[in-house]
């Protein structure tokens, strides 16, 4: 299997999140040829769906190694030298939306699976909803596997974890994420008659100041400190002589494994209500923090990187969330993939030598996972 040709074919299939259809056709055809049984299913309704997912399974000996990834991509935006969905090779770089995040890694694992004929049981768990709300993506795949009695022993997520050089970083965990919305009603009135109105802004500002003063933790050996950021503050009052009827704010919290999402939501509710008793607080927990302690799985991937790339990777938990937050509930899970320097940017590109090397690294992992 030619990894460059498969990557180009995936890049040419437009798949802005949530993705369905042609891009899955391309991958399913490539995997069917090398002995994978394909289970494609569409779930969900608007606004977060419908979403297509795929479980590709090839029975082997010994353990079950799952590779997880996503075929959906973020919108391309402006500023591309050539079409975002028109794969173009310039020098040693293959350009296209999704080249590193993460169609290149999916193609590399497929090519590696083609190279290792007698290996462990392999599955590819591929979603069309990772870049979006992830409502009907990997969580739906997990439910489908449970229905079919499929239980991986190890999971490798092909997110672009490398920073400066292919192989320099493996992710063994991720921080959790929660978004919180605060809505504070007041009573509109004339600024010259404040006793007849109820201005919500001072109360909201006081609540936000108290939130900003919170210190959640100091971090630990594997995680940086948890942090709370105010990401929006809205009043929407066009008049200079009117006390507004409402004010709102939005928070984003990224938290380590010393915290739990529900506890953080409760903390914010208490803090807000101490200053603004009438406020409404709603939250969405995107995922809890997780850590796969260094051990057999990280050693397996790190050893493959050392043998092929000649470097010892750093183990890290930095960055945003990924679908590993769901898969880590099933089995030990780590992430390793391409260099992430151009992901989500115009002219996103993967280096062709990196793509070839990633095939060799993944093949080494597959061969030794048995």
State CA 50 to chain mean position distance: 19
The residue from 52, 115, 130, 159 that is catalytic is 130
User: Which pair of structure tokens corresponds to residue 156?
Assistant: 């490798």
The residue from 52, 72, 159, 364 that is catalytic is 72
- The candidate with the shortest Cα–Cα distance to 73, out of 45, 44, 47, 102, is 102
State CA 310 to chain mean position distance: 28
CA distance 256 to 328: 15
User: Which pair of structure tokens corresponds to residue 279?
Assistant: 């406020």
- The candidate with the shortest Cα–Cα distance to 311, out of 169, 167, 170, is 167
**CB within 8 A of 97, min separation 6: which ones?**
11, 73, 74, 76, 84, 85, 348
**CB within 8 A of 186, min separation 6: which ones?**
197, 198, 199, 200, 201, 243, 244, 245, 246, 247
CB contact at 8 A, 57 and 151: no
SS (H, E, C) 151-186: CCCEEEECCCCECCCCCCEEECEECEEEEEEEEEEC
CA distance 60 to 260: 38
End-to-end CA distance of the chain: 22
In sequence order, the β-bridge partners of residue 64 are: 121
| 48 assigned to active site | no
CB contact at 8 A, 251 and 182: yes
| 269 assigned to active site | no
**Residues involved in catalysis:** 72, 130
């Amino acid at each position: 299997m030619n990894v460059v040709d498969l990557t180009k074919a995936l890049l040419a299939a437009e798949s802005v999140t949530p993705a369905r259809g042609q891009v899955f056709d391309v991958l399913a055809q490539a995997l069917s040829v090398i002995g994978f049984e394909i289970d494609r299913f569409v779930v969900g309704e608007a606004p977060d769906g419908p979403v297509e997912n795929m479980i590709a399974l090839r029975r082997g000996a010994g353990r079950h190694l799952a590779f997880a990834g996503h075929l959906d991509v973020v919108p391309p935006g402006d500023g591309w030298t050539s079409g975002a969905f028109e794969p173009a090779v310039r020098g040693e770089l293959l350009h296209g939306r999704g080249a590193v995040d993460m169609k290149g890694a999916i193609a590399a694992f497929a090519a590696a699976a083609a190279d290792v004929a007698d290996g462990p049981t392999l599955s590819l768990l591929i979603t069309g909803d990772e870049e979006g709300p992830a409502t009907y993506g990997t969580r739906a795949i997990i439910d489908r596997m449970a229905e079919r009695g499929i239980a991986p022993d190890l999971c490798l997520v092909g997110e672009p974890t490398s920073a400066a050089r292919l192989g320099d970083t493996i992710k063994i965990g991720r921080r959790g994420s929660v978004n919180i919305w605060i809505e504070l009603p007041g009573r509109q009135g004339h600024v010259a008659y404040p006793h007849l109105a109820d201005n919500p802004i001072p109360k909201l500002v006081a609540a936000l100041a108290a939130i900003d003063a919170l210190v959640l933790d100091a971090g630990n050996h594997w995680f940086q400190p948890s942090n709370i950021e105010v990401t929006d503050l809205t009043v929407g009052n066009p008049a200079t002589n009117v006390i507004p009827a409402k004010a709102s704010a939005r928070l984003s919290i990224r938290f380590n494994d010393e915290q739990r999402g529900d506890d953080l939501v409760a903390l914010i509710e208490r803090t807000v209500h101490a200053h603004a008793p009438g406020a409404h607080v709603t939250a969405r927990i995107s995922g809890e923090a997780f850590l796969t302690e260094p051990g057999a799985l990280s050693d397996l991937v790190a050893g493959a990187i050392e043998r092929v790339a000649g470097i010892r990777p750093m183990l890290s938990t930095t960055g945003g969330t990924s679908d590993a937050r769901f898969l880590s509930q099933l089995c030990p899970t780590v992430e390793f993939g391409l260099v992430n320097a151009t992901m989500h940017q115009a002219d996103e590109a993967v280096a062709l030598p990196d793509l070839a090397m990633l095939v060799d690294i993944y093949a080494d992992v597959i061969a030794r996972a048995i």
